[in-house]
């Protein structure tokens, strides 16, 4: 028996209370609930009302995951945070979480940026560290404050995204919960989704007037994802790991567009009860969408534990990644919602 197998022992999530409906967006530009819902499946999204709430929810999601894992904050020996749209660049989100949780030890903590693929990349990093024996309890955080980086005069992008936070604890143990995991990137089509960083006022170099605003070539992204993701799940995630889709209980995809979720569902020939979607009332929460969907679905009884789920994230980079994970009993407990 090895003690270096990755066990997903706890998950947590937090959603802001401020709700913006499609009808609210009609006051900003020419759009309609019908257009947005029929193209995306989205009816409303939740936004952090301020930075203080974002940090409060970061701590809440992290504590949920740690409590579900049944460990103390001091047992965490690495914090990693997937964030491409943080509240601040420094201190990092992972270091901020270390402070908020009151962790006294000088454990390592770092952020990484892969947009909507954040949770899957985080799980891949945790998998490698746990199997190598370097760390025993890794806290993965996903934190994207999308609303901060959107142009709220642009009806093509600002309809899509919402804010939210996810958390997971991966611990070294005797059972393997990561049955398949893979990450990919194609930087040649990086211009499909961009978020430039403006220059400051350095007088010694050429500066630019770029705005720190997310822009997306929606149709290109849609085609890219629709071409790649269904095959990627069936061939790379399932077939290469000798996993029969019928032996997996749930599909928990990045919540980018209900039509993409439907396309993957049809490819896998899954019935509706196997497919988890909350895009209707949360929109696309970027790195957090898979963890939020997972936690919520367990809370609502849509996902039973123990069970197995296909996960897959995709987005800016372009980056994508997927896996099959075991959802063990107790990974998310209603009594730990606070």
Shortest distance in whole angstroms from residue 278 CB to ligand UT7: 14
Contact predicate 317/185, CB 8 Å: yes
Shortest distance in whole angstroms from residue 272 CB to ligand UT7: 21
Shortest distance in whole angstroms from residue 69 CB to ligand UT7: 28
254 catalytic, yes or no? Answer: yes
Shorter beta-carbon distance to ligand UT7: residue 112 or 222: 222
Shorter beta-carbon distance to ligand UT7: residue 10 or 323: 323
284 catalytic, yes or no? Answer: yes
Contact predicate 65/5, CB 8 Å: no
Shorter beta-carbon distance to ligand UT7: residue 173 or 322: 322
Please tell me the distance from the alpha carbon of residue 195 to that of residue 113, in angstroms, as a whole number. 12
Q: Give the count of alpha carbons within 13 A of 197, CB side only.
A: 7
199 catalytic, yes or no? Answer: no
DSSP 137-157: EEEEEEEE-GGGGS-TT-TTT
Q: Is the dihedral of CA 88, 89, 92, 93 positive or negative?
A: positive
Shortest distance in whole angstroms from residue 40 CB to ligand UT7: 5
Shortest distance in whole angstroms from residue 193 CB to ligand UT7: 6
Shortest distance in whole angstroms from residue 221 CB to ligand UT7: 4
The binding site for ligand UT7 (CB under 6 A) comprises: 31, 35-36, 39-40, 116, 155-156, 159-160, 218-219, 221-222, 225, 256-257, 260, 284, 315
Q: Which two tokens stand for residue 145?
A: 């404050």
**How would you class 234 by CB atoms within 10 Å of its CB: exposed for 0-12, middle for 13-18, buried for 19 or more?**
middle
Q: Which two tokens stand for residue 136?
A: 């025993």
Please tell me the distance from the alpha carbon of residue 53 to that of residue 38, in angstroms, as a whole number. 31
φ, ψ dihedrals at 323, nearest 5°: -175, 175
Task: Report DSSP state, residue 29.
Answer: S
Please tell me the distance from the alpha carbon of residue 237 to that of residue 136, in angstroms, as a whole number. 26
| Active-site pick, 127, 145, 254, 312 | 254
Q: Which residue is nearest to ligand UT7 (CB)?
A: 218
Shorter beta-carbon distance to ligand UT7: residue 15 or 78: 15
Task: Strands of the chain (E only): list them.
Answer: 5-14, 18-21, 44-47, 78-85, 109-112, 137-144, 164-173, 178-185, 193-194, 215-216, 250-253, 307-315, 319-327
Q: How many other C-beta atoms are found inside a 10 Å radius of the C-beta of residue 52? A: 10
Shorter beta-carbon distance to ligand UT7: residue 173 or 283: 283
| Active-site pick, 67, 145, 257, 284 | 284
Q: Which residue stretches of 269-331 are H helix?
A: 279-282, 289-299
| Active-site pick, 46, 68, 116, 336 | 116
Shorter beta-carbon distance to ligand UT7: residue 21 or 31: 31
Bond prior to 59 in cis (omega within 30° of 0): no
Q: Which residues are catalytic?
A: 116, 254, 284
């Amino acid at each position: 028996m090895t003690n270096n197998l990755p066990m997903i022992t706890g998950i947590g999530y937090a959603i802001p209370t401020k709700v913006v409906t499609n009808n609210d967006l009609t006051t900003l530009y020419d759009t309609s609930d019908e257009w947005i819902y029929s193209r995306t499946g989205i009816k409303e999204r939740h936004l952090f009302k301020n930075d203080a709430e974002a940090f409060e929810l970061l701590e809440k999601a992290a504590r949920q995951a740690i409590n579900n894992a049944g460990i103390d904050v001091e047992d965490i020996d690495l914090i990693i945070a997937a964030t491409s749209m943080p509240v601040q660049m420094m201190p990092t989100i992972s270091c901020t979480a270390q402070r908020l949780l009151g962790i006294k030890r000088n454990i390592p903590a770092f952020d990484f940026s892969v947009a909507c693929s954040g949770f899957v990349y985080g799980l891949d990093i945790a998998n490698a560290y746990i199997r190598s024996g370097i760390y025993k309890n890794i806290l993965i955080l996903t934190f994207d404050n999308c609303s901060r980086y959107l142009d709220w005069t642009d009806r093509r992008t600002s309809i899509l995204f919402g804010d939210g936070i996810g958390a997971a604890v991966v611990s070294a143990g005797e059972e393997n919960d990561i049955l398949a995991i893979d990450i990919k990137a194609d930087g040649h089509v990086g211009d499909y989704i961009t978020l430039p960083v403006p220059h400051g006022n350095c007088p010694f170099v050429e500066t630019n007037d770029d705005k720190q605003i997310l822009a997306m070539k929606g149709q290109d992204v849609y085609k890219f994802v629709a071409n790649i993701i269904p095959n990627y799940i069936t061939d790379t995630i399932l077939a290469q790991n000798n996993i029969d889709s019928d032996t997996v209980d749930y599909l928990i995809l990045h919540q980018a567009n209900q039509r993409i979720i439907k396309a993957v569902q049809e490819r896998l020939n899954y019935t509706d009860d196997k497919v988890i979607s909350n895009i209707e009332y949360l929109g696309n929460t970027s790195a957090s969408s898979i963890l939020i969907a997972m936690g919520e679905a367990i809370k609502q009884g849509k996902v039973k534990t123990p069970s197995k789920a296909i996960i897959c994230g995709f987005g800016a980079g372009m980056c994508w990644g997927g896996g099959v994970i075991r959802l063990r009993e107790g990974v998310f407990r209603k009594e730990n919602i606070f």
